[in-house]
Structure 1
Amino acid sequence: MASIRVADEPAFVLHSIPYKETSLILDVFTRQYGRMALIAKGAKRPHSVLRPVLQRFQPLLVSWSGKSELRTLTKSEWVGGTPALVGDALLCGFYLNELLVKFLAREDEYETLYDHYMATISALSEMDTGSSRLEQILRPFELALLQETGYAAALDYCVESNASPIEAEKYVYQPERGIRPWQADDPGHWPILSGRALLEMAAGNFSETDTLLESKQLMRFLLGLHLQDQVLTTRQILIDLKKI
């Protein structure tokens, strides 16, 4: 396999672990190449030019080379323009990163999801301290993640009518199928959703209280279904704090 060189690829650091005495292994989310494992040689040295740049939740341009699964980071440049996350916004940022690490296979392209992530980080960075908008910011990203990775069906399509949901009708999300009309004998743990909320979620509109409540029910169901026994630490903290 020939060595591959990539220059100035938009990226975010999701996670890092120490490697030997002076280096780091980075889990980065890139726009064209998806999740990549990169070794940042010497990044732990006090005077390394990489050390102050490799921060989470900051847009970067990264370059790398190599032919193994673990490539070598050759350059990283801070793009700027995103204020640091603090408080609840910081906790939500770690939650987003945990979701990406759990759901994305390495080196699969997710350009649309990358753009959703960048927009969500930007919205979190601009949020006022103590804001109640966390769910309105996080719900669209959760839905985008599940749909982009194939874990959620379209919300504006009923599998039985082959048409859009009717606003005044009730529906359920049936695993492996998607949206269909609610029936009285459906399992109690399947989310019951109004046609109106489904259409608003599909359109990316989470401003209405009822839609936000129904989207919480649906996202908890879908994430729990596909995470199974895997625990996301920050997700559980946010749930316990009643933030999401």
Structure 2
Amino acid sequence: MAVRVLDEPAFVLHSIPYKETSLILDVFTRSYGRMALIAKGAKRPHSVLRPVLQRFQPLAISWSGKSELKTMTKAEWLGGVPPLIGDALLCGFYLNELLVKFIAREDPHENLYDAYAQTIALLGQDPTDLEPILRPFELTLFKETGFAAALDYCADTQGAPEQGQQYVYQPERGIRVWHPDDPAHWPIMDGEHLLAMAQNDYADPKTLSQSKSLIRFLLACHLPDHDMMTRQILIDLKKI
């Protein structure tokens, strides 16, 4: 049965040329997840789609079709987000890499979509401090896609982490009380900073530092054989 969707909120994640005049798009939609769409004629100089299909800009898109590759029928720019520049632009590409690697096609994640839209809007303000903006999105992505357990729950005590207590993140189990015999590469975190991360509160520099160790650990666990180009650039620039 043919599917027809109208005015769905979306962002373009990636595009590749298709034949002489068209594009194949990887878009992240709020209600349908990642979708593969063909934008026919979008490369033509006078196409109404050409100036609209830009990354990091909120769109309302329509499509139809039966196969996995649907046909875009309309795209409207919703505005409100300045173009990303400089380090913020690199961060945008990093977010898109994460979505492509961690989300299957047509697997909706409305909370994650909202977190992405909010993060892009903050990056559009050209901030100088990027980590407090990226961290909530990264942890939301891991939790929403099932690649990370809740940070405000200890598997040992079956309760919230406690201030003054140290914890580790154990793969396949989540947060538990730290023990000296634990593997050295497991990130050690303080209870108060785990609770702050769960509340997206990164005012304390130590919370940021411990969250950075956690994110690097989670990425190494779930993408052991994949280099993330934009993340490595940001690390080299000491931005994240």
TM-score range, shorter-chain basis?
over 0.9
**1:144-223 residue pairs with structure 2 within 5 A?**
144-223=140-219
**CA apart distance, 1:231:** 1.0
Query: Matched residues in 1 for 2:220 and 2:232: separation?
Result: 11
> Which whole-Å deviations, capped at 9, do the CAs of 1:18-38 have from their partners, x for residues lacking one?
000000000000000000000
2:33 aligned with 1:34 = yes
> Which whole-Å deviations, capped at 9, do the CAs of 1:199-223 have from their partners, x for residues lacking one?
0000111121000000000000001
2:93 aligned with 1:123 = no
Q: 3-state SS of the aligned residue for 1:187?
A: coil
Q: Give the aligned partner of residue 22 of structure 2.
A: 23
Q: 3-state SS of the aligned residue for 1:119?
A: helix
Pick one of 205, 226, 233 that aligns with 2:229: 233
**CA apart distance, 1:224:** 1.3
2:145 aligned with 1:138 = no
Q: 3-state SS of the aligned residue for 1:189?
A: coil
Q: 3-state SS of the aligned residue for 2:43?
A: coil
**1:104-119 residue pairs with structure 2 within 5 A?**
104-119=103-118
**CA apart distance, 1:239:** 1.0
Contact 2:149 2:173 in 1 (8 A): yes
Q: 3-state SS of the aligned residue for 2:185?
A: coil
Query: Matched residues in 2 for 1:242 and 1:224: separation?
Result: 19
> Which whole-Å deviations, capped at 9, do the CAs of 1:126-182 have from their partners, x for residues lacking one?
134xx1x20000000000000000000000000010010111100000000001110
Query: Matched residues in 2 for 1:69 and 1:232: separation?
Result: 26
What 5-or-longer segments of structure 2 have no aligned partner?
Answer: none
Query: Matched residues in 2 for 1:225 and 1:15: separation?
Result: 25
Query: Matched residues in 2 for 1:103 and 1:180: separation?
Result: 25
Q: 3-state SS of the aligned residue for 1:234?
A: helix
Query: Matched residues in 1 for 2:218 and 2:163: separation?
Result: 22
Query: Matched residues in 1 for 2:52 and 2:116: separation?
Result: 19
Q: Give the aligned partner of residue 12 of structure 2.
A: 13
Query: Matched residues in 1 for 2:179 and 2:56: separation?
Result: 44
Q: Give the aligned partner of residue 71 of structure 1.
A: 70
**CA apart distance, 1:42:** 0.4
Q: Give the aligned partner of residue 239 of structure 2.
A: 243
What 5-or-longer segments of structure 1 have no aligned partner?
Answer: none
Query: Matched residues in 2 for 1:167 and 1:155: separation?
Result: 13
TM-score, normalised on structure 2?
A: 0.99
Q: 3-state SS of the aligned residue for 1:13?
A: strand
Q: Which segments of structure 1 move beyond 3 Å, counting only runs of 4 or more?
A: none
Query: Matched residues in 2 for 1:207 and 1:74: separation?
Result: 45
